[in-house]
Amino acid sequence: MPKAAFCADCGAYVWVSRDGGCVFGHLKSQLRDHHDTEGPLPPLPGSSTPLLAPAKSIEPPPPPPTKVGEITTKHVDVLPRRAGAFATDWVIGQSLTYYAGRALATLLSGGAGGDLPFALLLVAAPVSLSVLYGYFFAFEATVGVTPGKALFGLRIVDSDGRRLSRVQALKRNVARIVDLILFGGVGLYLVSASPLRQRLGDRWGKTFVVRA
Ligand SMILES: [Zn+2]
């Protein structure tokens, strides 16, 4: 019996050729949903008869989810604003971190200033880093938006469109460590690959960044 399969390159059910690929020359790896099928034999090359095989069943591949609760793709179509908000928050957060680090260094060196010994830097670095994360978390957990997001007309909500909870804010910011890998490249990739524009922190916390 002739074999048919769904070819991802063609976007249709096609006959499977003798080498196991698509009759249109696409690779074996592009085929799924193999099945034996009744129906006309594949025509010879040069024939005008369509090479499309009868579908196994009416089963289009499920579309990626574009709605969760009240949130749709329309609400999360805010990427340029989000980039601006992130840049703003990053500058504010880094400035706070820098000044917190300097204040701490002054404190640890007994007001003498100057460079800290390495051992003290090991203490100061995590403390100042927690200032950066604390900045994001404090605003998100209390008012549901950071100054950068507020400036760009955004807010962070749950799937019902309500302000995110403290636990959600915590998850968002713990996962930020991963999202910031490669200078934010990981988060950016996850956002662009996600229909509802969620970075890892949004997925874990079940949050969405939407227009205010
Ligand atoms: Zn094909």
Alpha-carbon distance of 87 to 158, in angstroms, equals 23
**Spacing, Cα 7 to ligand 1 middle (Å):** 5
How remote is the CA of residue 6 from the centroid of ligand 1, in Å? 8
182 CA distance to ligand 1 middle (Å): 36
Query: pLDDT by residue (tens digit) across 144-187?
Result: 999 999 999 999 999 999 999 999 999 999 999 899 888 889 99
Amino acid code (one letter) for 120? L
pLDDT of residue 53: 65
What is the C-alpha to C-alpha distance for residues 45 and 159, in angstroms, rounded to an integer? 53
**DSSP letter at 52?**
B
Ligand 1 mean position, distance from CA 189 (Å)? 28
* Residues 192/199, Cβ–Cβ less than 8 Å: no
- Ligand 1 centre from 116 Cα, in Å? 64
60 Cα to the center of ligand 1, angstroms: 16
Q: How far is the CA of 56 from the centre of ligand 1 (A)?
A: 16
Say how many Å lie between the CA of residue 103 and the centre of ligand 1.
Answer: 64
From 7-11, 29-33, 122-126, 145-149, the region with the lowest mean pLDDT: 122-126
